[in-house]
Amino acid sequence: MKFEKLSDYKLKITLSNDELPNNNTDLDSFMSNPSAARKSFIDILNKAKDEVGFIVGDNKVRIDAKYQSNGNFIFTITKLVPKKKNNRKAKPQKVSVNRKENCLIYTFDNIENFFNFCNFLQKHKINCLKTFCKFTELYKLNNKYYLAFNEINNEYKYIAKLYSCMTEFGTFYSTQELTLFMLKERGELIIANNAIQICQKNFK
């Protein structure tokens, strides 16, 4: 079992087939008993808290599961933070990026999913993306589209909403800068800097 804390809101868990809880042999049998699966995930999240400091608390979570060809299972846990009620309209705050963070790369099966993601952000006023990261670029490789964020600011005010809706339209791929270098070398650059903002402006 391997834990990788991607952010304060997202956790990646890698399990081998032999490590599925309750002696299950496949994902379907593991998930077929919701009560047992829930208890198993609580135990797993408690381990993640001890090992990598990922704290769920009283927040709800979204669980995305993926089976790999090598027999491993990838579970991506997204912490869903409830919206705070505020009678006054808050003014957007400027957030400075003081240090360089890992990049974040998501894949989209087709360009329509990326367009829908960009339009969703605009519709729900998840904006000021320049304060979330230094740049966003869109690449195409092997008939898939890759959205790369670099120099991420973890104090971005909409970060929980952004991570949550990314899983609705795309799939987490990597946080490694080597992967970004690979995309630059082998992939086709579709939209250079400010990929999301450019898409929102030109494709509706």
6, 51: one domain: yes
Number of CB atoms found within 10 A of residue 43's CB? 11
pTM check: above 0.75: no
Inside any domain, residue 91:
no
SS3 for 164?
helix
| Rounded-to-10 torsion of CA 172, 145, 175, 125 | -70
Is 188 in contact with 139 (CB distance < 8 Å)? Answer: yes
156/153 Cα distance (integer angstroms): 6
Give the domain extent around 73: 2-80
The count of structural domains within the chain is 2
Inside any domain, residue 61:
yes
Q: What is the mean pLDDT of residues 162-174?
A: 85
pLDDT digits (tens, 9 = 90+) for 34-73: 677 778 778 888 888 888 888 888 788 888 877 777 777 7
Inside any domain, residue 88:
no
